[in-house]
Chains A and B, each alone.
Chain A
């Protein structure tokens, strides 16, 4: 009796939000989401749009920000700042200058590549092996080691950079690229994520492969790796973006600024050749945005898997 009553009242309540009301609610929510989406996208779009301005246009629009207060500058810089969505005249002159006339930026871009790519490749290689071990092994020792990995993973750079600096000093690789690459390779982040995914591989599959006479190495290469393909891809994207963004490590581990990656160097051109800054910024975005474009679904899947530390 009572149950049926509550059911009816529930129905009534649902009924009170009529189809019309629901439609209006959906409309409001959609508009809200669209506004939020615009805020999220705008800075990126603006950077790209501004990269197609000529140097003089950028100077006129943003000169006040980047110009240092030098007396007797040649160009007139207006106090006002005009944020523009569409350049007055689309010009590729900035890109032309960056690519063909000032090799400095390309060198720094290359510095970024040469630091990040080895880290991504070798971190994945080391981590997929370790993750496989964590997925297969049992027992107290394995749990303790895994716990240590998680603790290391949770530490911010402010903590881990001190040990890294110390080791680099011992090994004599301070102020070389190795000081960044080697600790990067052994960072446990990828191990953690991949082992969570590998643990989902059904044990029966491995058992069956064994019955068919497959060795451990074969199981790893022919069963485990193919099953983790999308996970590997998403971990690669996550590691790449993190190191593509690096600021802390080069500042501390490299004293030779010619080795700096573009992520640090970009802030130093702001004051000088501001016309070029937007073009360089856009070029620097291209690799990560391309990855995002092609790998968004993998990325989302990988992020979703990473949920839950306890796993």
Chain B
């Protein structure tokens, strides 16, 4: 068993080595390859680059400018005043706090639960492909279509309260109380676990089998193998899934909006609601400072995650 495994691995490293050599050779003759490549690759990049510049980068720079002047007509430089205003704004605070609470509770859950699902499908149970299909299915169902059923389930007179009444639990108005956050965490997990699970499944498949086998022979228990070996190989994927879930957690507005409309219960008032309402009276200063504040926070969080992952997974990469 072990021997059989080893041979393809060896062949693989050989291929990789030759590729590396080639890569080096290519780098060495950079000028020449560039010449023979011609301008074609640059031309290929052009349409996309122009589009990204026009629709994202240039207006973003203008927005930075807008966020630092007092109004679009007067254009007096006020530096951070708009940012101070937005941070003091109660609606923005509520929206930011709600979004933060939601992301902080849903992202870790999404990572852990999808890893568990992936490990479940990784232990050679029957019907794996059918299970995979059904876990992945919610991702392909439009939010708007399935929102009806969520309403039936989470309504005050709905199915969930009916069910809980059997256990003597009092009725809860799920969507119009502080429990609203619980509901959207559930909806978020329902939709996103499948995608994350696929990422973890492919990462689990890529863990070198002989490392695990050596550990088993050396008498390592299942827990040791998981925490000390597998988790380290999984760490880049954990990072990716965390970042992806974070980005997707901002999209939960879709569910909230379709369930509760423009003015939901306080605990469900998300950043996108704030933006929508600010767009309605087109306050460029408010909009641009809010957008840039969010962008900075996103970059900071993702940067921190990268640094953490680099420290944790150092010795297994490459």
Q: Which residue of B lies closest to A166 (CB)?
A: B59
B47-68 contact mask (Cβ, 8 Å, vs A): 1 or 0: 1110110111111101100000
Interface: B123 (CB within 8 A):
yes
- B158: which of A65, A182, A304 is its contact (CB, 8 Å)? A65
When chains A and B are docked, how far (Å) is the Cα of A202 from the Cα of B26? 13
When chains A and B are docked, how far (Å) is the Cα of A94 from the Cα of B261? 25
> Across the interface, which residues of B come within 8 angstroms of A26, CB to CB?
123-126
A33-50 contact mask (Cβ, 8 Å, vs B): 1 or 0: 110111111011011001
| A-B CB proximity, top 5 nearest | A186-B51, A163-B59, A130-B48, A216-B40, A156-B250
Interface: B298 (CB within 8 A):
yes
When chains A and B are docked, how far (Å) is the Cα of A77 from the Cα of B9? 68
Closest CB-CB distance, A159 to chain B, in whole Å?
5
Where the two chains meet, the residues of A that have a C-beta atom closer than 8 Å to any C-beta of B are: 3, 6-7, 9-10, 13, 26, 29-30, 32-34, 36-41, 43-44, 46-47, 50, 62, 64-66, 79-81, 83, 126-127, 129-130, 132-134, 136-139, 145, 148-149, 151-152, 154-167, 182-183, 185-186, 188, 191, 202-204, 210, 215-217, 220, 241, 244-245, 247-248, 251-252, 262-264, 266-267, 270, 277-278, 281-282, 284-285, 288-289, 291-292, 296, 299-300, 303-304, 306-310
Q: Which residue of A lies closest to B30 (CB)?
A: A138
- B151: which of A148, A151, A270 is its contact (CB, 8 Å)? A270
Contact sample, A vs B, 28 pairs, CB 8 Å cutoff: A6-B218, A44-B137, A44-B145, A47-B146, A65-B152, A81-B157, A83-B153, A129-B47, A130-B47, A133-B44, A155-B295, A161-B291, A162-B59, A162-B288, A165-B279, A166-B59, A182-B51, A186-B52, A188-B52, A203-B26, A210-B36, A247-B253, A270-B148, A281-B144, A281-B148, A288-B141, A292-B140, A307-B236
Given contacts A216-B37, A216-B40, A309-B243, contact A83 B152 (CB under 8 A): yes
Contact B144–A126 (Cβ < 8 Å): no
When chains A and B are docked, how far (Å) is the Cα of A176 from the Cα of B240? 36
Interface: B229 (CB within 8 A):
no
Contact B152–A156 (Cβ < 8 Å): no
Contact A7–B219 (Cβ < 8 Å): yes
> Across the interface, which residues of B come within 8 angstroms of A132, CB to CB?
41, 44
When chains A and B are docked, how far (Å) is the Cα of A81 from the Cα of B155? 9
Q: Which residue of A lies closest to B140 (CB)?
A: A292
Q: Which residue of B lies closest to A203 (CB)?
A: B22
Contact B56–A186 (Cβ < 8 Å): yes
Contact A40–B135 (Cβ < 8 Å): yes
Q: Which residue of B lies closest to A253 (CB)?
A: B279
Contact B27–A138 (Cβ < 8 Å): yes
Interface: B266 (CB within 8 A):
no
Closest CB-CB distance, A51 to chain B, in whole Å?
10
> Across the interface, which residues of B come within 8 angstroms of A185, CB to CB?
51
Closest CB-CB distance, B253 to chain A, in whole Å?
7
> Across the interface, which residues of A come within 8 angstroms of B36, CB to CB?
210
Contact A241–B127 (Cβ < 8 Å): no
Contact A43–B294 (Cβ < 8 Å): no
Closest CB-CB distance, A15 to chain B, in whole Å?
13
- A267: which of B201, B251, B257 is its contact (CB, 8 Å)? B257
**Which stretch of B73-81, B83-91, B104-112, B270-278 is in the interface?**
B270-278
Q: Which residue of A lies closest to B36 (CB)?
A: A210
Contact B55–A163 (Cβ < 8 Å): yes
Q: Which residue of A lies closest to B239 (CB)?
A: A309
Interface: B136 (CB within 8 A):
yes
Interface: B147 (CB within 8 A):
yes
Besides A43-B150, A155-B298, A307-B202, 4 other A-B contacts (C-beta < 8 A): A241-B140, A245-B144, A288-B141, A307-B237
- In B229-245, the 8 Å CB interface with A consists of 236-237, 239-240, 243
Contact B48–A303 (Cβ < 8 Å): no
Contact A203–B240 (Cβ < 8 Å): no
Contact B240–A156 (Cβ < 8 Å): no
Contact A33–B121 (Cβ < 8 Å): yes
Given contacts A130-B44, A154-B243, A247-B254, contact A29 B125 (CB under 8 A): yes
Interface: B120 (CB within 8 A):
yes
Of B36, B140, B250, which is in contact with the most chain A CB atoms at under 10 Å from its CB? B140
Given contacts A162-B291, A247-B257, A309-B240, contact A37 B134 (CB under 8 A): yes
- A127: which of B37, B48, B144, B259 is its contact (CB, 8 Å)? B48
Closest CB-CB distance, A191 to chain B, in whole Å?
6
Closest CB-CB distance, B31 to chain A, in whole Å?
11
B193-220 contact mask (Cβ, 8 Å, vs A): 1 or 0: 1110011011100000000000011110
Interface: B69 (CB within 8 A):
no
> Across the interface, which residues of A come within 8 angstroms of B49, CB to CB?
130, 145
B273-302 contact mask (Cβ, 8 Å, vs A): 1 or 0: 001100100000001101110110011001
> Across the interface, which residues of A come within 8 angstroms of B19, CB to CB?
202-203
Contact A167–B23 (Cβ < 8 Å): no
When chains A and B are docked, how far (Å) is the Cα of A182 from the Cα of B261? 27
Interface: B173 (CB within 8 A):
no
Closest CB-CB distance, B247 to chain A, in whole Å?
6
